Structure formats: structure tokens, C-alpha cells
């Protein structure tokens, strides 16, 4: 059974703070994703990574960076948190799709409040 975990369920930070959100998956998946979920806007892709140290910008990368030093771990970094980054952040992982499955498995989410 695929397990994707995120470091925190809830976080409260102040404007200007540096924020780290961590995601870990235990299924040796190549792909990992960070999404932001806001009411009425669905899931918007921030960044994804297809291999260690490899990353690609998604639709809304501004104000965010990522790090993937190990295959199982994908971190999202808010360099200087702002109130408009208050949101639910979801991590996901998947195989490359070459094997036949592109199913994304999601973590439980981190609800971030920036004051």
C-alpha cells in the first residue's frame, strides 16, 4: 500500500518567515508533486520532480522553491511567507508511467496559515 506522508497537518507562520514543508513516500516513485488547493480553484501544480535533484516549474511556482536530495523526499520551501500563501498544500507521488500506471497518490495535506 502506497504511503505518502507530510511533515505537518497544520502550520501557523508569520509573514516573512521561511517555511519548509516536507513530503516522504515509501514506494520508490520517481515522480513527486506539490499542489496548492484553494476553494473553487481545484489543485494547482506548484512544482514537480521526476528524479533526484531534478525539478520542473508547475503553473504557480512564484514564491516557492523545492528540493529533492533523496528519491523518497520532496520539500517545498516558502522563502518569505506571505498572507496570500495561506492555503492547503498537497504532496503526491507516482511512477513514471512507463510501467503503465500514472496514478498519483496524495499525502494528507498541510494546512498553512500565514499571519
Partner 1 sequence: GENVEQHPSTLSVQEGDSAVIKCTYSDSASNYFPWYKQELGKRPQLIIDIRSNVGEKKDQRIAVTLNKTAKHFSLHITETQPEDSAVYFCAASWGNYGQNFVFGPGTRLSVLP
**Least Å distance between CB 48 and partner 1?**
6
| Distance, CA of 25 to CA of 107 (rounded, Å) | 9
Residues of this chain, 45-64, that bind partner 1 according to CB under 8 A: 45, 48, 50, 56
* C-alpha 76, offset from chain centre: 6
Which one among 107, 110, 112, 114 touches partner 1, defined by CB under 8 A?
107
| Distance, CA of 6 to CA of 15 (rounded, Å) | 22
38-57 per-residue burial string, b: 16 or more CB within 10 A, e: under 16? eeeeebebbbbbeeeeebee
Q: Closest Cα partner for 10 from 84, 69, 67, 87?
A: 87
Neighbours of 9 (CB within 10 A): 10
Which one among 19, 81, 90, 112 touches partner 1, defined by CB under 8 A?
90
Residues of this chain, 12-41, that bind partner 1 according to CB under 8 A: 30-31, 33, 35, 40-41
Nearer to partner 1, 17 or 50 (CB): 50
Piece of the chain touching partner 1 by CB under 8 A; list 15-23, 62-70, 76-84, 102-110: 102-110
Which residues are at the interface with partner 1 (CB under 8 A)? Answer: 4, 30-31, 33, 35, 40-45, 48, 50, 56, 90, 94-98, 101-109
Amino acid at each position: 500500500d502506497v504511503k505518502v506522508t507530510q511533515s505537518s497537518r497544520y502550520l501557523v507562520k508569520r509573514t516573512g518567515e521561511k517555511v519548509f514543508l516536507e513530503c516522504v513516500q515509501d514506494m520508490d516513485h520517481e515522480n513527486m508533486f506539490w499542489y496548492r488547493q484553494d476553494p473553487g480553484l481545484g489543485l494547482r501544480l506548484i512544482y514537480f520532480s521526476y528524479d533526484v535533484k531534478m525539478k520542473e516549474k508547475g503553473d504557480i511556482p512564484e514564491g516557492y522553491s523545492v528540493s529533492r536530495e533523496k528519491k523518497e523526499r520532496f520539500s517545498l520551501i516558502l522563502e518569505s511567507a506571505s498572507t496570500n500563501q495561506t492555503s492547503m498544500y498537497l504532496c503526491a507521488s507516482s511512477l513514471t508511467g512507463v510501467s503503465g500506471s500514472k496514478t498519483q497518490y496524495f499525502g494528507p495535506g498541510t494546512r498553512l496559515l500565514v499571519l
